[in-house]
Amino acid sequence: MHVLITGAAGMIGRKLTERLVTDRGLCGQGVEKLTLIDIVAPARPPGFSDHVKTRAADLAEPGVAEKAIAERPEVIFHLAGVVSGEAELDFDKGYRVNLDGGRNLLEAIRKAGDGYKPKVVFSSSMAVYGAPFPHAIPDEFNLTPLTSYGTQKAIIELMLADYTRRGILQGTGIRLPSIVVRPGKPNKAASGFFSGIIREPLAGVDAVLPVSDSVVHTHASPRSAVGFLIHGAELPREKIEPHINITMPGVCCTVGEQIEALRRVAGDKVAQRIRRQPDPLIVRIVDGWPQRLAGERATALGFSVEQTFDEIIRVHIDEDLGGKFAA
Amino acid sequence: MHVLITGAAGMIGRKLTERLVTDRGLCGQGVEKLTLIDIVAPARPPGFSDHVKTRAADLAEPGVAEKAIAERPEVIFHLAGVVSGEAELDFDKGYRVNLDGGRNLLEAIRKAGDGYKPKVVFSSSMAVYGAPFPHAIPDEFNLTPLTSYGTQKAIIELMLADYTRRGILQGTGIRLPSIVVRPGKPNKAASGFFSGIIREPLAGVDAVLPVSDSVVHTHASPRSAVGFLIHGAELPREKIEPHINITMPGVCCTVGEQIEALRRVAGDKVAQRIRRQPDPLIVRIVDGWPQRLAGERATALGFSVEQTFDEIIRVHIDEDLGGKFAA
């Protein structure tokens, strides 16, 4: 089986690649060929002796999507895109990459003209939702995004569903909750603190908490995100069509509960490295975000996620820190 | 005030033009200038002595949208589009006209670069919804269209909301229920019978009913549709932003209740001109359509519609038949 990953150099893309290399299979078949593309050439995965192509490719450029599918990958994970903050700051870039790039990929598949009908798993986001919200967002909830990023994700979801309904491809839209703990350096995303208040203290560094302890959000680990994408590719089509865009489950908790979990997993000293320093801009942005995702349909479909925030922290310690942290 | 209507040659476009010519005002200002565009040049409205431009224009062609807004109309009614059946039969045409044409209009406004920020009233459709449905579709209901037409309408709604949120324009999306009674010849739309079973008997002609009497649907007259669009332009912005796409109210009734209304308004002899002849294809298509729209938000916002199907029939007799019918 040949698998194409767009956005393969990103955090989820790299972890998905590692998982496919480890599993060496997908949908009950062996994975013999990987094509990894991103705006910068992704790293070659170590330990994969079969055929791998890595390439810098911008799907928004003419002809690039056609080239990406030229060898007819059976499964495509479409993760490419610019993130929320960047799509909001740069209108043209957001629509170009997230909308035109995604549409170009769908159109290249439609125009293949040789019976090609791949599985296309798309990483969408709970940013397709916009306030005001009920206590928990049900699967039937309206799409009223309040960012350009959420708008672009919702548009590709709609097209993916229509192309699926028309028999052009087999789409699955995976609406991700907030993915924590993101490894690496802090970034400027407004949501960065959800990872930062766990990652930095575990590395022995102070972290700033810019919102109140009572903020509620829904989280899943990067490992769960990869699991969602793989399960999305493997689900029998009759279980999800025609409503192929699915809101994932997650651990719904307050920031205060996140911090208590950190204290349980890593001790008082680590949890005390969090400094409370409210930032009115971040408070306002976070106020408009979805809080609790019900994710009932996804759970019934077998998508699984951590049960507690403690587990999410342990995944980070295990997967990104080699089991050790600065106590 | 300068008003641009796209799709001005269509049924709603013509009736909206007539209404603006009669009222000679919109949003509390006089209407001195009308620009009417469509894929074929719309007719000049009789009785309007001020400045009118009518022009054949395809918004999906490069440069056409820029030209359409060159004189900076303060209010734009964007009605242009291919209908449901055509968008389903011709994939390329549907996306080209309904998505690219609409996006070109929004982009031309964004790129004006001179502080231009018009009101843009977009005629959307309850086709943005897809089965399964609750008893009545609430305002918070998910968007899962089951046609390419509904997909394209939902995408333009999302973009209109994002462009509004970013201060580029002042958008209002008007999700229309089924508009009956459509004057003129029967067409091949699967929904055509909803008008046909009223229009043809009133004209002394037999009509075919291809579905069962128990089918439920939500209707509004063309007069109400025009009223929705005008009210959508006149509503204070703070009442609708940021959720600018609004599901209209309508008369929810069964086909049997439609026929009883026809009997009350026009007599037994007219109602007996309906022949029941089930068509499995139409039965199947209609099965997937929204039945009851709750329309609570629209009602609270002052959008008004007929209270009974009797009134909808009387609007047709009054507006399209000069008050007379074949008893």
- Please write the tens of the pLDDT for every residue from A18-42: 999 999 899 999 999 999 999 999 9
Retrieve residue A239's tokens: 């279980």
Question: Using CA atoms, how far apart are residues A42 and A57, in angstroms rounded to an integer?
Answer: 10
Residue corresponding to tokens 């002796």: A49
Catalytic residues of B: 149
Question: Using CA atoms, how far apart are residues B147 and B166, in angstroms rounded to an integer?
Answer: 29
Q: What is the pLDDT of residue A54?
A: 94
Query: Does the distance separating the beta carbons of A166 and B91 come in below 8 Å?
Result: yes
Residue corresponding to tokens 């009734």: B253
Q: In the predicted model, what is the mean pLDDT of chain A?
A: 95
Query: In sequence order, what DSSP letters do the residues of A218-285 get, joined into one string?
Result: EEE-HHHHHHHHHHHHHS-HHHH-S--EEE---EEEEHHHHHHHHHHHH-HHHHTTEEE---HHHHHH
B140 vs A142, A155, A166: nearest CB? A142
All residues of chain A having their beta carbon less than 8 Å from the beta carbon of residue B142 are 139-143
Retrieve residue A252's tokens: 């719904």
All residues of chain A having their beta carbon less than 8 Å from the beta carbon of residue B91 are 110, 166
Inter-residue contact A308 to A257 (CB < 8 Å): no
DSSP alpha helix (H) spans, chain B = 11-23, 64-68, 84-89, 91-94, 102-110, 148-165, 192-202, 222-234, 255-266, 268-271, 280-287, 296-300, 309-319
Q: What is the pLDDT of residue A85?
A: 86
Q: State pLDDT tens for residues B196-243.
A: 999 999 999 999 999 999 999 999 999 999 999 999 999 999 999 999
| Sites in chain B below the pLDDT cut of 50 | none
Q: Which residue of B has its CA nearest to A111?
A: B92
Inter-residue contact A175 to A247 (CB < 8 Å): yes
| Sites in chain A below the pLDDT cut of 50 | none
Distances (CA, A) of A281 to A132, A190, A278, A286, A288: 19, 9, 9, 9, 12
Which domains occur in chain B, in start order?
2-179+220-247 (3.40.50.720)
Query: Does the distance separating the beta carbons of A91 and B144 come in below 8 Å?
Result: no
A144 vs B145, B146, B161: nearest CB? B161
Inter-residue contact B145 to B127 (CB < 8 Å): yes
Q: How many CB atoms lie within 10 A of CB B273?
A: 18
**B250–chain A nearest CA distance, Å:** 20
All residues of chain A having their beta carbon less than 8 Å from the beta carbon of residue B242 are 130, 144, 146
Residues 6+ apart with CB under 8 A from B220: B176, B177, B178, B179, B180, B228, B248, B249, B250, B251, B305, B306, B312
| H helix or E strand, kind and range, residue A134 | none
**A86–chain B nearest CA distance, Å:** 14
pTM: 0.96
Question: Using CA atoms, how far apart are residues B205 and B148, in angstroms rounded to an integer?
Answer: 33
Retrieve residue A203's tokens: 């590395």
* ipTM attached to this prediction: 0.96
